[in-house]
Amino acid sequence: MRKEKLLYIILGVLFVTYVIVEYYSPKPLDWTVTFSQNDKNPYGGYILYERLDDFFAEKAVSFQTLYEARDTEANLLILTTDFAPSDADMEAIYNILDQGRTVLIGAQIFSEKFLDDLGIDTKTQVLESITEDSVQIELEGEKTINMPPSFVNITFEVDSSTIWKSHATSGGDVLISKDYPTAKLILTSLPLAFSNYGLVKNNILLFAEAALNKIPEGSVHYNQYYQAGKQVPATPLRYILSQAPLR
Q: Which residues lie closer than 8 Å to 142 by C-beta, 6 or more apart?
A: none
**Looking at residue 78, what is its pLDDT?**
98
pTM over 0.85: no
Architecture per CATH, domain 46-228, reads as: 3-Layer(aba) Sandwich (3.40)
| DSSP strand pairing (183-188 vs 103-110) | parallel
Cα distances (angstroms) measured from residue 177 to each of 7, 16, 173: 71, 58, 10
**Looking at residue 238, what is its pLDDT?**
47
Other Cβ atoms closer than 10 A to 2: 6
**Looking at residue 111, what is its pLDDT?**
96
Segments making up each domain of the chain, as ranges: 46-228
Burial of 18-56, coded b for 16+ CB within 10 Å and e otherwise, reads: eeeeeeeeeeeeeeebbbbbebebbbbbbbbbebbeebb
Helix, strand or coil for residue 180? Answer: strand
Tens of pLDDT, residue by residue, the chain (247 residues): 555 666 556 656 556 666 565 555 566 778 999 999 999 999 999 999 999 999 999 999 999 999 999 989 999 999 999 999 999 999 999 999 999 999 999 999 999 999 999 999 999 876 555 567 889 999 998 899 999 998 999 999 987 666 899 999 998 999 999 999 999 999 999 999 999 999 998 789 999 999 999 999 999 999 999 998 776 554 555 445 445 565 4
